[in-house]
Amino acid sequence: MPTRHLLLIDPQNDFCDIHGASLPVAGAGADLHRLAALLRDEAADIAALTITLDTHRRLDIAHPGFWQKTDGGTVAPFTPITAAQLRAGEFRPRDAAALPRTQAYLEALEARGRYTLMVWPVHCELGSWGHNLHGELQTAAVAWQLERQRHAEFVLKGMNPWTEHYSALQAEVPDPADAGTQLNHALLQRLDDCDELWIAGQASSHCVKATVEDLVEHLPSRRLDKLVLIRDGMSPVTGFEPQAEDFLARMRAQGLRIATTRELSA
């Protein structure tokens, strides 16, 4: 029997399309319902469970409270901000002393070519309801731990307010002074220590995408065929559907398997 590890990326209330969520992803609630059922049904064959938690503070470089317009006006959620706009004074940090570091961050972010800074609604704030696991998945995770008599591993990401942290493996621009933003070799090794790594969560356009891209680049064994993306266990942020489809196509071309929860529990 192959050893299976289930990696669930950010299955949190704030990303679910449910009442009270601050950054709902259309379809996320149904995704997590299917994943909870998969975890219940396949508990005996899932040897390890890792759950990542997007974890932010109120003041964050990707939250509105960090920013203001030239006239001092508020910056609305879902506003992209480029290094050029910052240089031109179209936007600026509310804390004037933060300008040099912010400018350097945006330039480094854009040099990577993966994302432009996005001002998101405040989400997954530490200590809030939105930071918590989706209720049904939480219940399934507790049942798995009791049945298997082992802990699920929880990985917090995003605590550093100076960098976005989509990937569970490293921040978009790692901070040399903060080990929590740098490539997580211990997590990479744990995820590689299995025959099959099942991957799902939210969102396929951002945190799932970034995590899997980093896995493909850094997996110690280089055995990409062990990575299984659960297609009906992830959804894109509205407006980013093409990015999600491109991601899945690229991963399939690199040898990753794309499967559904029904196929995995067949």
- Please determine, for residue 243, whether its predicted confidence score (pLDDT) is greater than 90: yes
pLDDT tens digits, one per residue of 79-93? 999 999 999 999 999
pLDDT for the residue numbered 1: 61
Domain count, the chain: 2
Residue 24 and residue 141 in one domain:
yes
pLDDT tens digits, one per residue of 167-219? 999 999 999 999 999 999 999 999 999 999 999 999 999 999 999 999 999 99
pLDDT for the residue numbered 25: 98
Residue 17 and residue 142 in one domain:
yes
Average pLDDT of span 5-26:
98
Residue 237 and residue 130 in one domain:
yes
Last residue within a domain, chosen from 104, 119, 134? 119
pLDDT tens digits, one per residue of 120-151? 999 999 999 999 999 999 999 999 999 999 99
Mean pLDDT estimate for the chain: 97
Residue 9 and residue 114 in one domain:
no
Residue 81 and residue 96 in one domain:
yes
Q: Which domain holds residue 185?
A: 4-56+125-264
pLDDT for the residue numbered 2: 73
Average pLDDT of span 75-81:
97
Residue 134 and residue 189 in one domain:
yes
Confidence of residue 112 (pLDDT cuts 50, 70, 90): very high
What is the SS3 assignment for the chain?
CCCEEEEEECCEHHHCCCCCCCCCCCCHHHHHHHHHHHHHHCHHHEEEEEEEEECECCCCCCCHHHEEECCCCCCCCCEEECHHHHHHCCEEECCHHHHHHHHHHHHHHHHHCCCCEEECCCCCECCCHHHCECHHHHHHHHHHHHHHCCCCEEEEECCCCCCCCCCCCCCCCCCCCCHHHCCCHHHHHHHHCCCEEEEEECCCCCHHHHHHHHHHHHCCCCCHHHEEEEHHHCCCCCCCHHHHHHHHHHHHHCCCEEECHHHHCC
